[in-house]
A and B are shown apart, each in its own frame.
Chain A
Amino acid sequence: MAILIIAEVDKQGLSADCAKVVGAASALGQDLHLLVASDNAATAAEQGAKLAGITKVLVADNAAYAHQMAEPVADLVLELAADYSHILAAASAKGKDMLPRVAALLDVAQHSDVIAIESDDTFVRPIYAGNALATVQSLDEKKVLTIRTSAFDAVAEQAPAEIHALDSVKSSELTQFVGEELVESERPELGAARVVISGGRGLGSGENFALIEQLADKLGAAIGASRAAVDAGFVANDLQVGQTGKIVAPDLYIAVGISGAIQHLAGMKESKVIVAINKDPDAPIFQIADYGLEADLFEAVPKLTELL
């Protein structure tokens, strides 16, 4: 049976995560279908058709699917599910919102945040903030998975696959969209950035995040934050890196004024190179950092910005 991947659409079109979910799905089978349920879905559908391995794109282009709300999209996926052995989405805010709804309606389990696929029914996922990895076997006929995209490689491009329009419209009266405020940023997106610089409570205030911004500008990096910095109100929650925030795995992760609570480490310890700058020599972050610098961040970070 074929595999269904639920695409996520953002204002640029297809979300960059989608190519990684397709990468994960490639381990499960050959016949990969991509579902683009959204309004103004044409661009995303064309982009999806070019992802290597995709054999068919199903497009449900309708205002009913605007903002990809969980209720109507789950109802649509439910209608399509009979033809599929696996249903996958990214473990993003949308995927996490929508896919458990699909699984419950299908009366099957969902496997969240899958980081490795061992066979078509056996998956590895982190539990306890990444302090343990569970290898779980699905006993259901249909497998529903959200994919931790930092753990999989994006697929390359191919000659476009067939695009097939769906005319099914599932509208839901339960939930209405009121509005959305997206943070405009020139910087790369946190989940996809090659370099991430995160600030913690050690920065002392939101204004002092300017130090992080200057360094980030120099390196073309995304900015992240620890939960402590978010809790203290220094920055918005969508910058939070950790167990319940963003999971990142950049080439270079620089943790500034972050002590390294379990919950934070859960979100960044797969980074290739980790640098920690902290004035407390006993900070747990130093135990996982490739390069640790015991220093006052207010001196070290400007100097680092200058020297790089």
Chain B
Amino acid sequence: MKILVPIKRVVDPYVKVRVKADETDVELANLKMAINPFCEIAVEEAVRLKEKGHADEIIAVSIGLKVAQEQLRTAMALGADRGILVEHDDALEPLSVAKVLKAVIDKEQPSLVLFGKQSIDGDNNQTAQMTAALAGMGQATFASSVDVDGDQIKVAREIDGGIQTLSLKLPAVVSADLRLNEPRYASLPNIMKAKRKPLDIVTVADFELQLGSHQKTLKVTAPAERSGGVMVGSVEELVDKLKNEAKVV
């Protein structure tokens, strides 16, 4: 089967972003960028499914700036067979991304669309679910294990208070949670090989989609800073502060 893995270029998760002085956005100039960590887990899972003989082709797809080719090459170094970049200069809302992905799904006809559960920039946690809705597929979000069995896929998913197991008819959408796997490091030979793998570049305009604007960001502000607290010298002092100053115990 064919697995489609949507991936997103985001700011490196270890970078602390700051809000721009004019409060229009966060400052992203010159920051280190990376493949969204949850997307990396999705790529890894697709590669494992291929290694187990369940998949024959893995396609990584990204929607965004030309430079997102870097993240597609990373996905290919990890084991994706080819990449598709749907180039677009402006940031797209999750619903628009889902519409573009639906168009890619129509063309590629994958059996499984394997997402990361959320991107660490917008923190929306929507695109997988929206894509599943538009494609008329079943969904299993927050997956912590995935088992393919013929034309069904069994997914254990993280829910509040425990784990739920679902069985989905393929084609289906799955979104990866943290515990699904631990992504491998790309080896140098694989990084070199990835450079020769096919990467198609198309544009959003090629899909003849009507992408409306559904929201407007009025401002982006810094959250209230917590005022610096105090260091206490001993457990006794801590207990005293909690009892008599903060009065929380």
Contacts and interface: CB of A to CB of B under 8 A. Distances in A.
Contacts of A126: 123, 223
B98 A104 contact: yes
B215 interface: yes
Interface in B1-49: 11, 13-14, 16-19, 26, 38
A303 interface: yes
Interface stretch (A53-61, A133-141, A162-170): A133-141
A263 B172 CA distance: 30
Given A100-B130, A275-B242, A292-B229, A112 B165 contact: no
B126 A308 contact: no
A92 interface: yes
Contacts of A101: 129-130, 132-133, 139
Q: Which of B14, B158, B234, B242 is the most central at the interface, judged by chain A CB atoms within 10 Å of its CB? A: B242
A229 to B, nearest CB: 12
Nearest to B162: A182
Contacts of A46: none
Contacts of B242: 252, 273, 275, 291, 308
Q: Which of A227, A230, A269, A293 is the most central at the interface, judged by chain B CB atoms within 10 Å of its CB? A: A293
Contact of A128 (B121, B142, B241): B121
Nearest to B116: A244
Contacts of A294: 231
A60 B124 CA distance: 28
Nearest to A245: B178
Contacts of A97: 129, 139, 141-142
Interface in B174-207: 177-179
A231 B217 CA distance: 35
A108 interface: yes
Contacts of A240: 178
Contact of B118 (A69, A111, A244): A244
Q: How large is the interface on B (under 10, 10 to 19, 20 to 34, 35 or more residues)?
A: 35 or more
Interface in B90-105: 93-95, 98
Given A70-B129, A140-B214, A230 B165 contact: no
A279 interface: no
A217 interface: no
B17 to A, nearest CB: 5
A269 B178 contact: no
Contacts of A105: 133
Nearest to B102: A104
A176 B98 CA distance: 24
Given A101-B129, A263-B13, A94 B95 contact: no
Contacts of B179: 230, 237
Contact of B235 (A67, A174, A237, A304): A304
Interface in A218-239: 219, 227, 230-231, 237-238
Contacts of B65: none
B148 interface: no
A49 interface: no
Given A71-B139, A291-B229, A112 B178 contact: no
B238 A127 contact: no
B150 interface: no
A112 B138 contact: no
Interface string B67-103: 0000000000000000000000000011100100000
B88 to A, nearest CB: 17
A174 B129 contact: no
Contacts of A109: 93-95, 214-215
Interface stretch (A20-28, A37-45, A198-206, A281-289): A281-289
A107 B133 CA distance: 10
A74 B95 CA distance: 16
A137 B138 contact: no
Nearest to A96: B125
Contact of B130 (A103, A137, A291): A103
B222 A132 contact: yes
Nearest to B175: A97
Contacts of A195: 248-249
Given A109-B93, A176-B166, A180-B163, A128 B11 contact: yes
24 contacts: A10-B161, A93-B160, A98-B129, A99-B129, A100-B133, A101-B132, A104-B131, A112-B124, A112-B126, A127-B121, A129-B123, A133-B220, A133-B221, A136-B218, A137-B218, A178-B154, A179-B164, A219-B249, A230-B178, A238-B160, A243-B123, A263-B13, A291-B229, A304-B238
Interface of B: 11, 13-14, 16-19, 26, 38, 93-95, 98, 117-118, 120-134, 137-142, 144, 154, 158-169, 172, 177-179, 213-223, 226, 228-232, 234-236, 238-239, 241-242, 246, 248-249
Q: Which 8 A-B pairs have the closest CB atoms?
A: A174-B138, A109-B214, A100-B129, A104-B130, A182-B162, A175-B138, A290-B229, A100-B126
Given A100-B127, A137-B217, 11 more contacts: A71-B139, A103-B95, A113-B123, A174-B137, A174-B172, A176-B166, A176-B167, A237-B144, A243-B120, A290-B226, A295-B235
